Structure 1
Amino acid sequence: MAAAAEEHGRASRIVVAGVASLGIAVGVDGFPLTDGPTRFPEWMRTGVTGVGANVAGALRRLGDEVEFCTVIGADPPGDFIRAELRTRGLLGAGAIVGPASSLAVSFAAPDGSRAGHSLLTPVNEVDYPAEVFAKLADGADLAVMTTAGFTEPLLAQARRLGVRVAVDVHLIADVYEERRRPWLNAADILFCSHERLPCAPREWITQVFATYPGCGIAAVGCGPEGCVLGLRDGTLVRARAAPPRGVRNPVGAGDTLFASFVHSWLGSGRPVEALRQAVVHAGYTIGDCFPAEGHLSDRELRELASRHPVEVWLGRWR
């Protein structure tokens, strides 16, 4: 049995709906990228990435029972994706065949800046079978619903089954954003990035709770500044830690932060401790070149958190 199950009584059962892409990560000297002859980067990695795969992989490594609902093409990239997911214990009944596989390229510079390009159209336009999702989600502790286009109709299924929903809306600048309203309305746990917010994280969290009464936990990932998290009861938590291994590639750090929080919170019910572990795990992940390379087991994460100090401030958002 997984370490998390051994030490917390049982592993959480989580269904994740999202994209798995064939990805290439490239180290560059800096931005903007300049025109010129062929370059020979210090490092380059190929593997399976995408928000769905990153979150599902982190949860699986932490010891949770994960059902991964995704769309993979019957093409050479799809063959690679299926083989990698099988190795990671993530290829199951939730992986359906689509018209083509999604692809991704990301660039990372030594100063922590990054840029990414994702081809998601072949996946987003697929009509994912609701009965497949419903069968896998029935009785789950949590449904992680990424904002991939094919997941939108599945939100109602999660609600019908009474499964709690966790969502990361990533780059968002409007609490009323129409395109993401279905996910915002459905979320019990809501994460996002600070990068495009029109206000400070505390104010954003206040707006979220005022606008979406079903949301009980709202958090803002703040990159090198850690994370700010609010609870419906008015508690505000700020957590920050220096990356234990420095920065190689920050792509996927937010996915690890999100996955680690929900894993630890489901296992312990202690949001402050869960945020501590999530911040440490995200900081550890960016020390590797490819997102999946930096995922830790539950035992490894708790040992790292015990050695690596996390600054935490408690306050009120209201």
Structure 2
Amino acid sequence: MSILVSGLVNIETTLHIESFPLEYDPVRYPFWGINTTVSGVGVNVSLALHTLGRDVYFCTLLGNDFFGEMAHDWIQQQGLATEFFVQQLPQTAQSVILYDKIGRRQIHVDLKNIQEQRYPLELFESALERVSAAVLCNINFNRNLLEVAKRKGISIFTDVHTIADPDDEYNRDFMAAADVLFLSDEKLWTTPEKAAQDLMARYGNKMIVIGQGERGALLLEQHSRPVQLPAIKTRPIVSTIGAGDALFASFINFYIDGFSPLESLKRAMVFASWKIGTAGASQGFLNSYELEKLYTQDMPSAI
């Protein structure tokens, strides 16, 4: 079963620091502590799904600059098709991420003018014809595409990351359209259980997953009680950047294959736990064989 992913591509630079807060120093020399790669939610989700063996049609907007060409070529080298890439921006988005020795991170994202752009409707409709599910990331160029996917009966998966209000103005359209809604617990207005119930009552999603980092994850299905799963540790943490994208993508992979939401989330938590043993958001993904081996043989007590 093929999946459409529409989301951000950016050039990501990670910087390893000793601890937060970062004290002022005019010059630092973090040998092997700076790395630049291609990332962004669209890349991370697409590459995770692709590594798990899924056919992915990736829609995105890139700059017609050096970084846009670099991103295009790198993504193509990873085995992802680029036929639905549109290089119309003056500059490609960039991010700088600081992370410390215990895995905490601070993300700085420069979207340039991408929030003022729209993805070409005809190209999106062409991609939709090939899939049965769509991951529409909460970037502005996807906003007018939500209704199109909904009208065609395509299941919509969305991750709104951090929200502090169930009526969040920016994310309201995405939450209302999502059949399956993901988010983080980092800025919630109440407990994860109550937040999930508030959102489901308001938007009628089929299910909601709230990632809680070291506290695990919470799953709420329609007409059910919330289920809390404890965190899983498969290897030492390097950086938690991209953990939510990994959880989101791997859940989708198993759910559309017919696994129950609970079984999908259990496997996704193993996948995400392994992923955060690397520094970059688009690195550290297990393939389906590696994940199943880790899930069934190495993690019997956790599942």
So what's the TM-score if we normalise by structure 2? 0.95
Matched, 1:35 2:24: yes
Q: Residue 236 of structure 1: CA displacement?
A: 2.5
Matched, 1:304 2:294: yes
Q: Distance in 2 between matches of 1:146 and 1:160?
A: 18
Q: Distance in 2 between matches of 1:139 and 1:204?
A: 35
Matched, 1:44 2:34: yes
Paired residue total:
300
Q: Residue 127 of structure 1: CA displacement?
A: 2.0
Letter in 2 for 1:219: V
- 2:162–2:183 CA contact under 8 A, matched in 1: yes
Q: Distance in 1 between matches of 2:142 and 2:79?
A: 21
Segment of structure 1 superposing worse, 238-247 or 109-118: 238-247
Q: Distance in 1 between matches of 2:125 and 2:184?
A: 29
Matched, 1:124 2:118: no
- 1:82–1:91 CA contact under 8 A, matched in 2: no
SS at match of 2:233: coil
1:166-205 aligned at under 5 Å gives the runs 166-205=157-196
CA RMSD across the alignment:
1.4
Segment of structure 1 superposing worse, 231-240 or 96-105: 231-240
* Structure 1 residues 65 and 95, CA gap change in structure 2 (3 angstroms): same
Q: Distance in 2 between matches of 1:80 and 1:209?
A: 41
Q: Residue 247 of structure 1: CA displacement?
A: 0.9
Q: Distance in 2 between matches of 1:18 and 1:24?
A: 19
Letter in 2 for 1:194: D
Q: Distance in 1 between matches of 2:233 and 2:302?
A: 13
Segment of structure 1 superposing worse, 69-78 or 132-141: 132-141
* 1:76-113 Cα deviation digits (max 9, x unpaired): 11111011110112242211012221111111101221
Letter in 2 for 1:20: V
Letter in 2 for 1:172: I
Q: Distance in 2 between matches of 1:161 and 1:48?
A: 32
Among 93, 101, 104, which residue is 1:102 paired with?
Answer: 93
- 1:98–1:126 CA contact under 8 A, matched in 2: no
Letter in 2 for 1:25: T
Q: Residue 310 of structure 1: CA displacement?
A: 6.2
Structure 1: segments with no counterpart, 5+ residues = 1-11, 313-318
Letter in 2 for 1:23: E
SS at match of 2:282: helix
Matched, 1:233 2:233: no
Q: Which residue of 2 aligns with 1:4?
A: none
Letter in 2 for 1:302: E
Q: Residue 225 of structure 1: CA displacement?
A: 1.1
* 1:112-164 Cα deviation digits (max 9, x unpaired): 21101111133222221011111101252211011111110111111121101
Letter in 1 for 2:185: H
Structure 2: segments with no counterpart, 5+ residues = none
1:1-318 aligned at under 5 Å gives the runs 12-42=1-31, 43-99=33-89, 100-213=91-204, 215-306=205-296, 307-309=298-300, 311=302
Q: Which residue of 2 aligns with 1:8?
A: none
- 1:241–1:309 CA contact under 8 A, matched in 2: no
- 1:239–1:311 CA contact under 8 A, matched in 2: no
Q: Percent identity?
A: 32
SS at match of 1:151: helix
Q: Distance in 1 between matches of 2:117 and 2:180?
A: 26
- 2:60–2:85 CA contact under 8 A, matched in 1: yes
* Structure 1 residues 181 and 253, CA gap change in structure 2 (3 angstroms): same
Q: Distance in 1 between matches of 2:299 and 2:290?
A: 12
- 2:118–2:140 CA contact under 8 A, matched in 1: no
- 1:139–1:163 CA contact under 8 A, matched in 2: no
Q: Residue 309 of structure 1: CA displacement?
A: 4.3
- 2:103–2:240 CA contact under 8 A, matched in 1: yes
Q: Residue 311 of structure 1: CA displacement?
A: 4.2
Q: Residue 232 of structure 1: CA displacement?
A: 0.6
Letter in 2 for 1:266: I
